[in-house]
Amino acid sequence: MNELSLQFFWYVIVGVSVFAYVALDGFDLGVGILNAFTKKDQDRRLFLNAIGPIWDGNEVWLVIVGGALFAGFPDVYATLFSGFYDLCMILLAGLIFRAVAIEFRSKRASKGWRSTWDAVFSIASFLISFGVGLAFGNLFMGIPLDANTDFRGNFALFFRPFPILIGLFTVSLMTMHGSIFLAMKTEGALHQKLRVWAKRSMVVFIALYLITTVCTWVLAPHMVLRFKENPWLFVVPLLALLSILNIPRLFTRNKDGLAFLSSCLCIFLLFCVFAIGTFPYLVRSTIDPALHSLTFFNSSSSLLTLKALAIIVVIGVPLVLGYGFFIYRVFRGKVKLDSSSY
């Protein structure tokens, strides 16, 4: 493989890893958000045990994203983790406190103890979901990078109206994704209640999707430029729309598993739309997009580094996928509570 091929390979690896994180840890975050809407201790225990065996494994993809950026695109890593430093610290705090809440929640039978960690679990899940969306929203719009690719903004810049909209859209996506997953994993009265929640979350998600689509055309015209130049690419957002509409169609027919897979496909296709709109940029500069932006070919590591990393990926990623498949296979089916449960 030549240098450009390896650079593009790593660009794809980063994109696939981000998708895997959002699709897998996304329903964990959705479960955390939904945890705030039920008051029964048994329901909350069922929520936790539905994700208990898998949530930490799902976070591995976030580690892969960080590692791939650090090793494959060090300039992007440096710019994002310095420019987005405050936002990254908030996200990191959310990840830490969510993990602590999951593990500590059932250590004591005290109602106050459990209520406290339930609140931490839900707040952290919301903050992570909103923060991820906020970060993507700023990547959509671009951020001020100078000739040295240094960030020339402040923390308030992240809270522009469009990134906030993307943040709320992401929260609605995670909530819908999590509600479908919980519907797959529960039964009885809780299952019926979750079906109602899932349908409501789908309505909110579709409404925000339509609003976001219109706002993207108006506020981020550079995101649709490539589609206008190559009209055949409109097949990707069309497929994304069809996958979104297919979610409630399958769910109302009690095909929860297929609805969940359609939700995963929806996330994948939305990422494809994002990738097409931003290609070849990884971080777009609003000061001078042509000269100051970071692309996958002007911010990558050396050819030797990319080759060495490719070997690690070829070995490591199948192991991660194999482990994930094994865990999901072992813990498939409806969740039950026993003496070893959270």
User: pLDDT tens digits, residue range 207-243?
Assistant: 999 999 999 988 888 888 889 889 999 999 999 999 9
Q: How far apart are CA 328 and CA 52, in angstroms?
A: 11
106-133 confidence digits (pLDDT tens) = 888 888 889 999 999 999 999 999 999 9
- The pLDDT, as a whole number, for residue 1 is 66
Cβ-based neighbour number of residue 130 at 10 Å: 23
DSSP string of 217-277, one letter each residue: HHH-THHHHHHHHSGGGGHHHHHHHHHHHHHHHHHHTT-HHHHHHHHHHHHHHHHHHHHHH
Q: Which residues, in sequence order, are CB contacts of 165 under 8 Å at separation 6+?
A: 137, 208, 211, 212, 215
pLDDT band at 341 (very low <50, low <70, confident <90, very high): low
* CA–CA separation, 75 and 282 (whole Å): 10
Give the number of residues written for the chain.
342
Q: Which of 130-134, 288-292, 297-301 has the highest mean pLDDT?
A: 130-134
pTM exceeds 0.75: yes
What share of the chain in percent tops pLDDT 70? 98
